[in-house]
C-alpha cells in the first residue's frame, strides 16, 4: 500500500437536492426531496434540511411525506445533473488521467499518477483547491477524502460531509477503523452485518481480532478473507480510469398495476426502444435480450434470449422482448417492467430475418406509393370494369370525422418552463387542469407564483438554466487550473 495519501475520493453533497436548491432560490435552506412522486416512488436524494426529519435515500416516498409534510417534493432532472456531473469530472480529469467515476456525483482520483501530489502537504493543497474550483464552476459543494487507499479515502470523505475535507494519515488506519461499525467496510450490508452480529462481531476491530479463519467460517473463503484484509486496512485496489459496461437496461415502476395485456405489450415495446437509445449512445450492441417483469404479488421473473450476433436494431430488440413476454403470465397485474441488453460488443451483426422483413416492408411501401401516384395521374379514378363505355367507380361511404380530444398536458413538479410574458420558471405543482409556476432563475431573487391552465399556449417546457452565470464561472479554460 502507498505511504502517501494520494488517493482522492470526491462525493458531492446531497447532489440532486443541492442542484435543485441552487437552481431555485426559493428552496435554499429548506427541506427538498427528489425522487419518484407516485404512490410507489422512492427518495433519490434528500437535502440536509430534509434529513433532519429522518428522510433519507431509498426511503418510500409515502414515508418521506409523513416525516416531512412541508418539504418540496420534486421529480429528478437528470439532464441537468449530467451536465453538472460532466463539469465536475472535467475538473477531476485535469488533475490526473486516472479518474474512476462511481456515479454522477462520486469518483476516485489517483493524484500521484497525475503528478500533482506526492505527500501530505501537496495532497491537502490539491483537495482544498478542488473544492474551491467545484464551488466556482457549479455553485455546489463536495466533500473530499484523502488516504493511501480507495477504501480509506471513501471513509474519509464520508467523515468530511458536508462540504469538508478529511485526510487519513498513513500508519493510523487501523486505530481509526477499530471502533467503527462493521457496516463501515465495503461489501458489508444488512445481511452480512446481521450475520456478524450473531457471531458477536460488531466493530471493525473485532473483525481483526476474530482472525481470518473465523471470518472464513462465518462468511466463506472469498468474502471472509477479503473482509479480514479490509479490517487490517489492506486495500491494494488501483484507481481504474474506465470500467467495462456489462449491460444496458431500462425499467419503469407503475403507480397502478397494469392488467391490460395490450398495454403491457406496448410498454415493453417502448422500453425496448429506450434501451436501444441508451445502447447506441454508449456505442455498443448486444447479443442477449432480457425481459424483467415484477407482478402484483412482488414476484419477479426474468426471461432472456440470445441472438446469433450482437445488434443495436430497435426492431430486433422489440421482437425479442415481445417473444419473451409471451412466456410470462401477467393476468394478475404488473407493477414493473424492464428491458435490457447484455453480452455487449462494439460492433453489430444484424438479425438477417429482421433485416429481410424490414426490406420487404420498405418494398411494399414503395409499391403502394407508386400505385397511389398512378391513380392520381388518372385523375383520381379508381380502376374498374368498363360496361357500355362507362367506368364503374366503387362508392366509399362517408364516415363523419370524430373530433380528436388532445391529451391533457402534464407538468412534472420541479421541471423548467417558460412563459411568453413572465419568462423562466419551474413547476411547483399541477392538477385539476391547473399548473402552478414559480418564476425565478438560479441568479435571481426568490420569484412570484402564478397559476395557469394546463393547456395555456403561452406556457412551454424549457431547458434548465446554468446554475452559475457564465460571467461568474471560474476556470473556463484548462490553463486556468494549471496556472494555480
Say what the pTM is: 0.73
Q: Give the 3-state secondary structure of the chain.
A: CCCCCCEEEEEECCHHHHHHHHHCHHHCCCCEEEECCCCCCEEEEECHHHHCCCCCCCCEHHHHHHHCCCCEEECCCHHHHHHHHHHHHHHHHCCCCCEEEEECCEEEEEHHHHCCCCCHHHHHHHHHHHHHHHHHHHCCCEEEEEECCHHHHHHHHHHHCCCCEEECCCCCHHHHHCCCEHHHCCCCCHHHHHHHHHCCCCEHHHHHHHCHHHHHHHHCHHHHHHHHHHHCCCCCCCCCCCCCCCEEEEEEEEEEEECCHHHHHHHHHHHHHHHHHHHHHCCCEEEEEEEEEEECCCCEEEEEEEEEEEECCHHHHHHHHHHHHCCCCCCCCEEEEEEEEEEEECCCCCCHHHHHHHHHHHHHHHHHHHHHHHHHHCCCCCCCCEECCEECCCCCCCCCCCCCCCCCCCCCCCCEEEECCCEEEEEEEEECCEEEEEECCCCCCCCEEEEEECCCCCEEECCCCCCCCHHHCCCCCHHHHHCC
Looking at residue 398, its pLDDT comes to: 57
Looking at residue 308, its pLDDT comes to: 82
Looking at residue 395, its pLDDT comes to: 54
Looking at residue 408, its pLDDT comes to: 60
Q: What is the pLDDT along the chain (484 residues), one digit of tens a residue?
A: 788 999 999 999 999 999 999 999 999 999 999 998 887 888 999 999 999 999 999 899 999 999 999 999 999 999 999 999 999 999 999 999 999 999 899 999 999 999 999 999 999 999 999 999 999 999 999 999 999 999 999 999 999 999 999 999 999 999 999 999 999 998 888 888 898 999 899 999 999 999 999 999 988 888 899 999 999 999 999 999 876 677 899 999 888 889 999 999 999 999 999 999 999 888 888 989 999 999 988 888 999 998 888 889 999 999 999 999 999 999 889 999 999 999 887 655 444 444 445 445 555 556 556 555 555 444 444 444 444 444 454 555 555 555 544 556 789 999 999 999 999 999 999 989 999 999 999 999 999 999 999 999 999 999 999 999 875 444 444 344 444 4
Assess whether 364 carries a catalytic annotation. Answer: no
**Looking at 20, 49, 100, 106, which residue is catalytic?**
106
Amino acid at each position: 500500500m502507498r505511504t502517501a495519501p494520494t488517493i482522492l475520493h470526491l462525493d458531492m453533497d446531497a447532489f440532486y437536492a443541492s442542484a435543485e436548491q441552487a437552481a431555485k432560490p426559493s428552496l435554499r435552506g429548506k427541506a427538498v426531496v427528489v425522487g419518484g412522486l407516485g404512490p410507489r416512488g422512492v427518495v433519490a436524494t434528500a437535502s440536509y434540511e430534509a434529513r433532519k426529519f429522518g428522510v433519507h435515500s431509498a426511503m418510500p416516498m409515502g414515508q418521506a411525506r409523513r416525516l416531512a409534510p412541508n418539504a418540496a417534493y420534486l421529480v429528478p432532472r437528470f439532464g441537468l445533473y449530467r451536465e453538472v456531473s460532466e463539469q465536475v469530472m472535467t475538473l477531476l480529469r485535469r488533475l490526473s488521467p486516472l479518474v474512476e467515476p462511481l456515479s454522477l456525483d462520486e469518483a476516485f482520483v489517483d493524484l500521484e499518477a497525475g503528478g500533482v501530489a506526492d505527500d501530505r502537504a501537496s495532497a491537502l493543497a490539491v483537495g482544498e483547491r478542488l473544492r474551491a474550483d467545484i464551488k466556482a464552476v457549479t455553485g455546489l459543494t463536495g466533500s473530499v477524502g484523502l488516504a493511501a487507499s480507495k477504501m480509506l479515502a471513501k471513509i474519509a470523505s464520508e467523515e468530511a460531509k458536508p462540504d469538508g475535507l478529511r485526510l487519513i494519515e498513513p500508519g493510523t488506519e487501523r486505530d481509526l477503523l477499530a471502533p467503527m461499525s462493521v457496516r463501515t467496510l465495503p461489501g458489508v450490508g444488512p445481511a452480512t452485518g446481521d450475520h456478524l452480529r450473531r457471531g458477536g462481531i460488531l466493530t471493525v476491530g473485532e473483525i481483526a481480532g476474530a482472525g481470518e479463519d473465523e471470518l472464513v467460517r462465518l462468511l466463506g473463503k472469498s468474502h471472509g478473507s477479503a473482509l479480514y484484509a479490509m479490517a487490517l486496512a489492506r486495500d491494494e485496489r488501483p484507481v481504474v480510469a474506465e470500467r467495462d459496461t456489462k449491460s444496458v437496461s431500462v425499467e419503469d415502476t407503475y403507480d397502478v398495476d397494469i392488467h391490460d395485456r395490450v398495454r403491457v405489450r406496448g410498454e415493453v415495446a417502448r422500453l425496448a426502444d429506450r434501451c436501444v437509445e441508451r445502447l447506441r449512445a454508449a456505442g455498443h450492441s448486444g447479443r442477449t435480450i432480457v425481459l424483467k417483469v415484477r407482478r402484483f404479488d412482488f414476484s419477479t421473473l426474468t426471461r432472456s434470449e440470445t441472438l446469433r450476433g450482437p445488434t443495436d436494431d430497435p426492431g430486433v430488440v422489440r421482437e425479442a422482448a415481445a417473444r419473451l413476454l409471451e412466456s410470462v403470465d401477467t393476468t394478475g397485474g404488473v407493477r414493473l417492467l424492464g428491458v435490457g441488453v447484455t453480452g455487449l460488443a462494439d460492433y453489430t451483426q444484424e438479425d438477417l430475418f429482421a433485416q429481410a422483413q424490414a426490406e420487404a416492408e420498405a418494398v411494399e411501401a414503395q409499391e403502394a406509393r407508386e400505385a397511389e401516384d398512378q391513380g392520381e395521374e388518372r385523375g383520381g379514378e379508381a380502376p374498374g370494369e368498363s360496361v357500355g363505355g362507362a367506368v364503374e367507380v366503387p362508392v366509399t361511404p362517408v364516415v363523419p370525422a370524430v373530433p380528436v380530444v388532445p391529451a391533457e398536458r402534464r407538468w412534472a413538479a420541479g421541471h423548467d418552463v417558460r412563459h411568453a410574458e413572465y419568462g423562466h420558471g419551474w413547476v411547483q405543482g399541477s392538477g385539476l387542469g391547473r399548473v402552478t409556476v414559480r418564476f425565478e432563475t438560479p441568479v435571481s431573487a426568490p420569484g412570484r407564483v402564478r397559476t395557469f391552465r394546463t393547456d395555456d399556449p403561452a406556457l412551454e417546457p424549457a431547458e434548465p438554466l446554468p446554475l452559475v452565470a457564465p460571467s461568474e464561472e471560474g476556470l473556463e479554460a484548462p490553463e486556468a487550473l494549471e496556472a494555480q
